[in-house]
Amino acid sequence: MRSCPRCLASYDEGLEFCGIDGAELIETELDPLLGVEIDRYQILELLGRGAMGAVYRARHLSLGRDFALKVLSGSFAANPHGLARFHREADALSKVRHSNIVSVVDFVTTPEGLNILIMDYLPGRTLYAAIAEEAPFTPERSANIARQIAAGLGAAHANELVHRDVKPSNVLLVAEGRGEVVKLLDFGVVTLEKQSDTAERLTGDGRVVGTPTYMAPEQAREGPVTHAADLYALGVVLYEMLSGKPPFDSKTVTEILVKHAVEPPPPLQAARGMEKIALQLLAKDVRDRPASAEAVIEEIDALVESWARPPSVVAPPPVKRRTKWPIAAGVSLAAMMVAGFVWTRNDAVSEPITHMEEVVEEEPEDEPEQPELAAPILKASEPVRPRRRAAKREESITKDVLHKRLDAVMTTLRGAAREIPANLAKECDDEYLVLRVAVNDAKNERALLQAAKRVRRLERKIAALRRG
């Protein structure tokens, strides 16, 4: 690696002079920024390095809190196109405030010329690393991650921004309780959805913006790029989570782009319905994909709710049992008629009495069975009412209902950004995030009821803050 001894910017091999200050570059094995103090921050650790620059963990000298610093490389800083992309990322992230998008704290240009984007530091790992180690994912985990990616994209699309580079390495997974919280990263190639000028869709050297493996057909053809391109990329990511590999791969970029444009994706194994959502997102025609990120969320929620829905319980029909007592009564009645007839024909008393005793002696054998009539009917009908009442309670508070209420909470919070102090809004953001995880992790009706109470408290808190 080569670096500038004056501004400490890093460069790729092959360059001789710094594009920022013109100083002669030197070879170095160690990162020149490690341990350095820059604008109230001390750089502690290199988190990752990409084409546009490097990301470091740094500690604020006054607050004692860690932040993530994205430092633009010298090659991009000296290039007007690269510098414009970096400023565009800072501007885009400052406009979008959502729990599934990394938050920007500040943007700094040092006196020496280094451009630094300061973001919240979130310990976690990328979805790329998780897929490499653990894929294929379960349908439940895939649904949870895909839903959160869609939620973050929906917030960007609501601000007329298209990410254009959705891929596993730009998705951070943060452990939160027993669940995972998604954070979308790297908005360096974001653009306005209404922007159709070709120059804006290209980098400074004429390459198409984006990563070929996750690029929508219209994006590969250099056509108009809308939010539908982000949804296609989400489909590729979901496909990769379910199968362990992307739908299209090749040794050359051209072959991958052609496959995205004309070839149908290979079929996926059954994954409780998530495979259908992935293939729908991968439709070649934008009109065949879900209409929006919100539509994707609705499909995932409906599918997950169907998994949690208990099978319907139908009471067995009452068992009809044949009883003997009507027959016995009929026999007794016939016997009495016969006895009466004999009585009229014979003056002897003993004969009709003898016959009556013989008939009546048969009745005690059948009469004890009479109470059994109600027994089977009661046994079959007793569980029906309690089960129906339990089902009605489950339908009143579901994960889908609570997620929709939380969506409304976030919409209200975003709309009241100017009415609520920043520190209190941050507290509400944190509570919202914790509740998202609690609802996702709820395993039974009691947990859902507890989550509903907490959602209600958060709604009341935001309403009180808005009233002042």
Among candidate residues 168, 163, 211, the one with its CA nearest the CA of residue 189: 163
Q: What is the pLDDT of residue 420?
A: 87
- Residue 267: what pLDDT? 95
**Which pLDDT value is given to residue 284?**
95
Q: What is the pLDDT of residue 158?
A: 93
β-sheet bridge partners, residue 108 = 116
Residue 26: its pLDDT value, please? 92
The predicted structure's pLDDT at residue 202: 37
Residues 6+ apart with CB under 8 A from 400: 301, 302, 304, 305
Distance CA 386, CA 380 (A): 13
Reference 72, options 94, 91, 55, 47; nearest CA is: 55
From 12, 66, 106, 165, active-site residue: 165
Quick: pLDDT tens for 292-339: 999 999 999 999 999 987 766 555 666 655 555 455 555 455 555 545
pLDDT of residue 186: 83
pTM of whole model > 0.85? no
Query: By the 8 A CB rule, do 168 and 237 touch?
Result: yes
Q: 156, 35, 21: which is closest to 77 by C-alpha?
A: 21
* 13 touches 31 (CB < 8 A): no
Task: Count other Cβ atoms within 10 Å, centred on residue 26.
Answer: 11
120 catalytic, yes or no?
no
Give bridge partners of residue 208 from the DSSP assignment: 202
Amino acid in position 463: A
Query: pLDDT value at position 76?
Result: 83
Backbone angles phi, psi at 143, to 5 degrees: -65, -40
Task: Show pLDDT as tens, one digit a residue, over the chain (468 residues).
Answer: 889 999 999 887 778 899 889 999 999 888 999 999 998 999 999 998 877 889 999 999 999 999 999 999 888 888 888 888 788 878 877 888 899 999 888 888 899 889 999 999 999 999 999 999 999 999 999 999 999 999 999 999 998 899 989 999 999 999 988 899 999 988 766 565 555 443 343 344 444 567 899 999 998 877 788 999 999 999 999 999 999 999 999 888 889 999 999 999 999 999 999 999 999 999 999 999 999 999 999 999 999 999 987 766 555 666 655 555 455 555 455 555 545 544 444 444 444 444 444 444 444 444 444 444 444 444 444 454 444 444 444 446 888 888 889 888 888 887 887 788 888 887 887 787 778 777 877 788 888 898 899 999 999 999 888 887
pLDDT digits (tens, 9 = 90+) for 214-246: 999 998 877 788 999 999 999 999 999 999 999
